[in-house]
Structure 1
Amino acid sequence: MFSLITKHTVNSSKNIIINPAILARTRTVNLKIKWEPPERISRWKAERTGDIGSFVLPDPTNICVQYQFSSELENAEPNVRNQFTLGWHPLKYTKEFYEKTLIDSVRSHVYDYNSPVAMIAQLTGSIRYMQWCIANQKERRRTREVYRLQIHKLTVGRFHMLKNLRQTDYKQYEWLLERLDLQFKPKPSKENEIMISRKEGLRQLTNSYCEEVKNEKLDAYRKQLDADKLPFLEQKLKNLEFIRNEQMALKVPCTITKEQIEEIRKQYEEMKKVHEANKIQPTKKKWRVY
């Protein structure tokens, strides 16, 4: 058996000193709340970078960017022309074609490649292409690890460019987000920043659980009161009729009018219909109406 001492607990059978703090930690408690850490989202995923749109693989029969303005390919044979298509070249040519497609959709003139809008479009194409390669395992493992680091660096650079564009030209900023199917996620301020911890999470879960228990008890008590309204009105109606009849029999001034009794009877009939429709059963409790 265990005998309690001021600071430690001693097992007399084996003469072992046990710290009570250890017993408190090993005690099993059936808590109805459970805190689970939030799922960590990788930095390369679209949920973290803000890319709503995804990489779309172009048609492999399209001509590579380097040979699109070649006049000799226009009159070349199909077998020769196929050797200059995306299907015959590595994936980096597909990446260049996709980047050029995004740039063409936002640039203001033919030679617009260095404006903030065009540079953001190029970064977006690179980010989505590397995300597609990682998700579909189109490259070697080492290459995919490099892509993860590059996606983070490009995302940070695009974030600062979008932030500057938002401050200088807000209309163009909104148009670009809609055009490229992007989502700008500004960093929260230090005042609104929330540190994720188990202690704070358990506090919030405990508060919400206590609110739920309180609301459940209040709802149950409210239903009980609604169920007891019908017998209360019935008893009140009988008492008012009894008092009025006694006053009339004794020939004393009546303090209760017929209008009051009819009003109570009307409330009783309406409450009875509601209880019958909702199948509410009153509690076995006697009300005293004074």
Structure 2
Amino acid sequence: MITFKQLDAIYWVNELGSFEAAANKLHTTQSAISKRIQELEDAFGVALFDRSRRSARLTDKGLELLTLGRDLLERRDHLLERISDESVIQSHFRIGVTELTGLTWLPQLIESIRKRFPRLNIEPSIGLSSDLFGKLEQDKLDMVVVPDVFSDTRFVSQPLQNVENVWMAAHGTVAEGRELTLQEIGEFTVLTQGSHSGTGLIYERWFSQHGTRMRNSLVSDYLLAQVGLTLAGVGISYLPRQCLQFLVNRRLLQVLNTTPGLPRVQYCALYRSDRQSGLSASICELAKETCQFSQLYFDRH
């Protein structure tokens, strides 16, 4: 039976030009290398090296065996590399995030994943929380980053950061220093996110708990549209404070003082418990390390 040790011997003797050099490379003795070559020659009944020369030189049959054997050695090394080192994983990883994550820290997450797993093909997608969760259920995504509104034992949940949302309006909508109650907020046209949005669902429940009914509301599923409508003075809206602070600083938006303030929205990374793997857990940890909703990516660059 041919062994990898025998193929290693013929490969390194040919590469380095002598049995002694091959022995040093393979951390063994010259006699051990000679024995492995002899075993190969006995197995095939042919001479693999031309022993009439001072340097180790392959015969025609030796070259033929080396050509075929080199492919086997490369496949072996590839197998060992794949199994023993997570950084050489060659696969696809499908990650779904909401618009806020896509606008803020998703680029940093992808960069971190690529550094850790350089051969991993990352397939990001951006969508509404409910749609992303549905795709996770259908095994169309490997992981999602969404507001923590889906309590389900079928999934592993990794808590990330929370987001501070505040009521905002176009600058000058409300007198500086005026404090509004929830009932007074309800008198404005309110731009809200629908129940397909995790944030929208959290605040729908919160308004209901506080007995607050919005007289006139406009539903927008997309954060950028919500920001644009607020800037245009169409209504007031709850928006992430930190990443939109630059619009407040430029006096395009104003933060409204309200009592009580809005609850923070906790985000989490989810993946299926029946698809648990070291890869998913590692990417969850990277998400925890890079998660930062403080600034819009394009405003930072």
User: Per the shorter chain, which TM-score range?
Assistant: under 0.3
Q: TM-score under structure 2 normalisation? A: 0.24
Q: Larger relative CO (CA 8 A, sep 6+): 1 or 2? A: 2
Bigger fraction of residues in helix: 1
Which has a greater percent of strand?
A: 2
TM-score by length of 1: 0.25
